[in-house]
Every structure is written in structure tokens, then in C-alpha cells.
Structure 1
Amino acid sequence: MNLFEPAPEPPVTATVVVCVYTEKRWADIVAAVESVAAQDVLPVETIVVVDHNEGLLERAREAFPRVQVVPNAHKQGLSGARNTAVELATGDVVVFLDDDATARPGWLRALLAPYADPAVIGVGGVAHPRWPVARTAVDDSGRPATLPGAPGGRDATGELDWVVGCTYTGQPTEQAEVRNLMGCNMSLRREVFKRVGGFAEDIGRIGKNPLGCEETELCIRARQAYKADGREVKILFEPRAEVDHRVSDDRVDWSYLRRRSWAEGLSKAAVSKLVGQGDALSTESRYVATVLPKALIREVKAKRPASAAAVVLCLGFTTAGYVRGKLPGATSHVSLPAADGA
């Protein structure tokens, strides 16, 4: 291959979506939008969706004249904001970037390249945690004791990094098929939303509420729908599509670990109601059986009792939340969005 030849253009066009809700993250929002504009492959449009915050809406419209800035037209929360963007998107693929994440060079190109395969309906990438500076850390990367991980430098993963919306130990290190994507850095063909509807607005984050799993539910629902039509599809994890995800001070303390773990259990119970327990817990079963025990043994051997306790606490609260969520009536409010039949 001629090294001076330009890189091939992606096989699809993209709409990039950044959902925002508070002016407290203004510096992060600006960094996220600017990181999209700095890509070597540009989207056909960038949409910033403001979640029921008039002051932030006005500020964003003034600051980003070349970006489509719109209010959330649906129920308050991340799912409603994403659904608003999906309805407006014109790209072949809808790409979602968190408002506190910045894309690295080459991110969008790497995310779009796998769509050359028509069987691929979704692609997600890596989210590297960027820890708060002024914290007691277990190593020179700044990693806190509440989210343990093996040594490995600035981009090393940890077993509990999903708690702060980042790539965690146990996920693939090379391109591979996965059950679902993580919302911080993910993309889906626009046709998926026409086929199965949008994100379930009865689950997912609203402001600082740590509920989630709306991405998991949508990916499982999409795969089930295509399979029912006799079409085998793929959802891929592409490690070369990288973003840096800022972790705020309040998300590395013990109280957040408990709340987030409990909320994860509740969310998984809601997903189980919508798509079935087998699909909802297939990845989690392997994670609990193989990844967490290794982490616990490593932390105990390294004489890091706080980190070992974090593993036990996380598993305990997640399990308790799931049990609570399975009780009669606990998820009776959860329903699926309608597809348009396309």
C-alpha cells in the first residue's frame, strides 16, 4: 500500500449526537463538540440536544453556530434526548458521544469503518477514564481504590470501570462482536431505530440519577427483531475508536459506588422484563463468574483491602438491586417505544 495515498472514506455518513443537561459541564460540552469538529472525517451534522434547560439551550445556540442545537422534545432524561436526535438525524449512522467525553484523533473514522459490512448494525469504542486530580490513588494513573484495576498506565482498564461509564476489564481488546454497546461512545445504523423504535424512556439516566442500561436493552431488542426476520446482524466493539471520559469527584467515592451498583441491578431487572432474562444477563453471568473473582484475588494478594472491599460491595449491591427490581410491581412502569414500521 502507498503510504502517501489518502485513507479511504468511510462507507457510511454519520450524524454525531451530544446530549447535555447542565451548565456545570460547560467546559466538557465545549471540549466534546470541538473534538468532533477536529476529526479527519466529519459528520454530515452534529446535533446537541439540551435536556429541558432553557438557559443552557440559549448558551449552546450562541456558542455553536455551526451545530444544530435543539431542545429535548420527549420525556426528560438521556433516552428522551437521544430519541429527539434520532428523529432529526440524516446520516446513515447515528453516533452518540457523552457530554463529558472528548474524541481522540481518528475516532470517527475507526467507528464508521466496520459498516462496510452490511451485517453490522452497531459499533462502539473505548472510553478511557480521566480521574480527578486531587484524590488518593492506588497508582500513578490516579485510579481510586473504589475502582480497582491491574497496573498498566494511563489507559489501563479496571474491572469496575463500567460504574463510571468507561471500558472495563473483561471487554475485548481487539475488534469483536459484543451483545451491547456502552453509551459514552457508540453508534447505530439509523435504520435500526426505524425497525425497532428508539431508546426506552422509562429506563436510563435523568440528570445525576445513576439508572442506566437503555443501550443494553436497545441492542438486545434490535438483535432479536432482526433475528425474527431471519437476518443475522452484528454489533461490534472497535478498540481503535477511542474517547477520553472525564470522571467527576463525586463518582469515585463509596456512596456513588453503592448507588450506581444498586441502580445497575434495578436497571438489569427492568431490561429482563423487556427482553428476557437470558439475553439480559448473558454477558453479566460470564463477568461475575470469571472477571470479578480474579480481581478480588489480585487485590487481596496485593494487600489492598479497600479495593478488594469495593469488588465485594459492588457485586452485593448490584445483586440486591436486581432482586429488588424483580419483585412484583417494581418495574411495572417500564414499556417499549413504538417503531415506525419502516
Structure 2
Amino acid sequence: MSADISVVVCVYTEDRWEDILAAVASVRAQSLTARETLLVVDHNASLLDRLTRQYKEAGESGEVRVLANAGPRGLSAGRNTGIAASRGSVIAFLDDDAVAERDWLRHFAEGFEDPRVFAVGGRTLPLWESGRRPAWFPEEFDWVVGCTYRGHPEGRARVRNVLGGNASFRRSAFDVAGGFATGIGRDGDRRPLGCEETEFCIRLTRARPDAVLLTDDRAVIHHRVPGARERFRYFRTRAYAEGLSKALVSRSVGAGKGLESERRYTTRVLPAGVGRGLRDAVLGRPGGVGRAGAIVTGVAAAAGGYVLGSVRARRGAATFRVVEIGGEPGGVRSTGGEGAAA
């Protein structure tokens, strides 16, 4: 059984060669067959050539299409390239270092049976390189490593935004709202920015107030967490970068929507996490103090990033741009949407 779903995987480095092959293999093994898989290579000629040869020699060049990012360096432009080149009525996104469970696409497809639904996201579980979660690492901050965090809605529920590495959108969403804004998310810079999917989802629901965005935690992927991202230094840096990104999102869509989910998270979910950590410490359980301390540090780092990002945004330190999806496959063009970036 097949579905009219195109799967886009954005890739950028040969260091993830085995991960990329595993991601594609997991798409090909779906119980609901994808129409196509598009590998969008981010300004890496060697990787582009290697992947093209890999799937051509395997006789899979029709099922797996390898494309060069047609826009500026970065995840947003890569996704926009994949959207423009895809042929499915639904477009799903999978991280290049993740593998999807067998019914991943089937659960996405079920969500789109309701014509009001414009996006369906799934649940992302960490695969720790060390074999297990570091004792100090709080589940409330699993978004730091690109995974579903404690406090995220469970089951099948409406959400403000889906999480970009495990998400699907109706094609018409991009006709309505344009593509992902460049200048917000990751762009090859060493600082681990994000939030491009948050900004897009808010922009989508502003353009279509009746649009429903869902999360369905049956649509599961497993995301590899390398050893370098299990360290406290990365944790702190990523939290700070999230604050910078949230400042840009707020600049684009307003603080009301830009921080709507974050208010509940910081006032309810995180204090409860600190309480659990301290309780575990009292009971002599390992990692309790570390988790409580990590939550406090993460909040402080994100807040610091948000304050600095807001100041830079007001000064117009940089710009972001929204693109319109259209034209020839892989083609995008800029629209008038523009704002200051941190």
C-alpha cells in the first residue's frame, strides 16, 4: 500500500554517511510506502556526488532523488528545496541522523484524513551514543538534542507547532504561508540555532486560523545523540542558542504567539522537574541534584540568549527572509517577509 507522501531528508556532511543510509532505509521499510524520498544536500559537492552514485548504482534513483540545496546554506533553504521538488500532496521531514519506526508514515497519513489538519508531528526518542541517558540530563530538556521532551503534549493532541525533525505538512500549507524562513535555523554556523518550524507554524495558523496542527506520539522516530551532545557544555550552548532563536521568532510573529507554549513550560513543567530532581536527591537516587541544576542553568542560558537576541533584533543586527515555494522543482523565490535576526 502506498501513500501520496514525499519524504525530505536534509543532509550536509559525509560524517553521517551511515546515518543517512539508515534514515533512507527506514523510509523504504515503511508499512505505508512513500511516493518518493528526497535527499537535499547542503552545499557539499562531494556528498552530493557520492549519494547520487550510491542510489543510481543501487537502481533506486527513481525512488530516492538526490538534490542540491538551491538556496543559501542552511536547513530552512534545504527544506524549501525539497518542498519545491517534491510531488506528494503531503511532505514529511526526517532528520538525517534518525530512523523511523515502521508505521511512522501510516500514522501521519491517518491525521490528514481530516481536511482541517495541515500538519502532523510525531514523537522523537533519543539514541544515546553512550548507551544510556546521562544521569544529570533532564527529560524536560530533551529538545536540546532534537527529541520530544517531558511536558510536550502526549497522545494525539493539537499543538501550536510541530517539531521539525519529525513532522509532516499538507502541501497546501506552503501555498498558504510560503516556505521556511532563512536566517532563523541552522545554517552551517557553529551555533546550534533552531525554531524555524515554530515560526512557520505560527505563520501558517495566522494565514489559516482554521488550520489544525497535531502531534501523534505513535509516529515514532529514533534520533542518534552523539557523545559530544551528551556533555553539559553543549547543553548550555544549545539552551542559549534557543533563546536567541526565540527572540527572532518573537520579532517575526510577536511575543504573544512566539512564547505562548514556553510560558506554560517555564511556569509549570520546569518547576516540577526541579522538584523531582531535589526529591530524588533526598531519596539518594543518582543524578537528582544534577538534573535540578541543569534545569536552572538551562533556563538561565535560554533567558540570557533571549535578552541578547531581543536587543540585537531591535538594532537590526541581521535579517531573515521568507520564501515562496513555486516555479521549477527546487526553485524558491523571496517574498517581502523580512525582519531582524539575532
- Normalising by structure 2, report the TM-score: 0.88
SS at match of 2:83: helix
Counterpart in the other structure of 2:113: 116
- Measured after TM superposition, the shift of residue 338 of structure 1 is 3.9
Does residue 163 of structure 1 match 2:107? no
Q: Which residue number in structure 2 is paired with residue 3 of structure 1?
A: none
Q: Is the 8 A contact 1:195 1:339 kept in 2?
A: no
Question: Percentage identity across aligned positions?
Answer: 45
Deviation track 1:225-263 (CA, whole Å, cap 9, x = no partner) reads 012xxxx11000011100000001111111111110111
Supply the AA of the counterpart residue of 2:38: I
For residue 209 of structure 1, report the CA deviation from its aligned partner: 3.3
- 1:145 paired residue among 135, 155, 163: 135
Of Structure 1 and Structure 2, the greater strand share is in 2
Name the amino acid aligned to 1:119: R
Q: Deviations over 1:194-213 (max 9, x none)?
A: 11110001110123531000
- What 5-or-longer segments of structure 2 have no aligned partner? 282-287, 327-334, 336-342
Specify the code of the residue in structure 2 equivalent to 1:196. A
What is the match of residue 330 of structure 2? none
Which of 3, 13, 25 is the aligned partner of 1:34?
Answer: 25
- Pick which of 124-133 and 326-335 moved more: 326-335
Relative distance call for 1:127 and 1:281 in structure 2 (3 A) is same
Query: Which residue, out of 167, 178, 182, partners 1:197?
Result: 178
1:54 to 25, 45, 50: 45
Structure 1 runs of 4+ aligned residues shifted over 3 Å read: 338-341
| Conserved? CA contact 2:137–2:290, under 8 Å | no
Cα pair distance change 1:200/1:146, threshold 3 Å:
farther
Counterpart selection for 1:130 from 101, 122, 127:
127
CA pair 305-330 structure 1, distance change in 2 beyond 3 A: farther
SS of residue matched to 1:166? coil
* 1:28 Cα offset (Å): 0.5
Q: Deviations over 1:102-133 (max 9, x none)?
A: 00111110111110100000000000001112
CA contact (8 A) 2:93 2:164 kept: yes
| TM-score normalised by length of structure 1 | 0.88
Cα drift, residue 147 of structure 1: 2.0
Q: Which residue identity does 1:145 align to in structure 2?
A: A
- Give the Cα–Cα distance (whole angstroms) in 2 for the partners of residues 339 and 220 of structure 1: 17
On the 8 A contact 2:84/2:325 being kept in 1, the answer is no
Question: What is the identity, as a one-letter code, of the residue corresponding to 1:219?
Answer: C
**Which residue does the alignment assign to 1:267?**
245
Query: Per-residue displacement from partner, 1:179-200 (whole Å, max 9, x unpaired)?
Result: 0011110011111111111000
Contact 1:274 1:336 in 2 (8 A): no
**Secondary structure at 1:94 match in 2:** strand
Is the 8 Å Cα contact of residues 78 and 206 (structure 1) preserved in structure 2?
A: yes
Whether 2:316 is the aligned partner of 1:334: answer no
Match of 1:155 in 2: none
Matches within 5 A, 1:317-328: 317-327=301-311, 328=314
Identify the residue that residue 76 of structure 2 maps to in structure 1.
Answer: 79
